[in-house]
Amino acid sequence: MIRVLIVDDHEVVRQGLRFVLGQEDGIEVVGECADGAHALAAIPALRPDVVLLDMVMPGMDGLAVLRELAGGPAVIVLASFLDDERVIEAVRLGALSYLSKTTAVDRVVEAVRAAAVGGSVLEAGTAALLIERVRQDRRRNPMDLLTPREREVLAELARGRSNAEIARSLRLGRETVKTHVSSILAKLGLADRTQAAIFGLQQGLIRLDEALDS
């Protein structure tokens, strides 16, 4: 049985999805939430396999939820429109599928079944956008994805420093440093701060002997 949580601030959308999925064998809607904060609070108790996530919601939006769900249930993003940067960021943050709310219901069901086993269902426009972005990324330096502040934080990671040490060195709050580290990992497609440190060394942000002395 695939356990599904629906997260959308429009009640009519939630009711429609619940009705459609409720007709499908092997799928159970275990809950509904009207915003991201309530979804994050409900997930530990409901234990969904798949989250159908609205991208634009008041308060905590879909991208903010995705950042908090790293390593959690599979996520399918449902959006009212195709926003290039939101699509790219959602996929980088772990969304398996990005579908328009006008997508045929059988396609949504297909996406739920695929997500439960780690698969993706992409509409033609989304697939084309991702392919084009991959081509662009291959032509440019990955460092171009980072802001100047994120480059500074990456250099500190290359020195092997902790978040607290980085905060002191750059005169930032610890939560701000944590946010920058998460953004760096997401933008560069890295798994952890160790990979980020190695990447920083490879990019020549600091000298190897400087890293060894840190």
Say yes or no: domain 2-137 is CATH 3.40.50.2300. Answer: yes
Distance of CA 68 to the CA centre of its chain: 8
pLDDT for 58 equals 87
- Rounded Cα distance between 173 and 171, Å, is 7
pLDDT for 7 equals 96
Assess contact for 126 and 96: CB atoms under 8 A.
Answer: no
pLDDT for 189 equals 85
Q: 1.10.357.10, 1.10.10.10, 3.40.50.1820, 3.40.50.720: which CATH number matches 142-210? A: 1.10.10.10
- Residue spans of the domains in the chain: they are 2-137, 142-210
pLDDT for 209 equals 63
pLDDT for 137 equals 61
pLDDT for 91 equals 83
Are the folds of 2-137 and 142-210 the same?
no
- Rounded Cα distance between 48 and 51, Å, is 7
Residues of the chain with pLDDT below 70 are 82-84, 124, 131-140, 208-214
pLDDT for 213 equals 60
- Rounded Cα distance between 129 and 121, Å, is 14
pLDDT for 83 equals 67
Dihedral through CA 2, CA 80, CA 68, CA 47, nearest 10?
Answer: -20
pLDDT for 84 equals 65
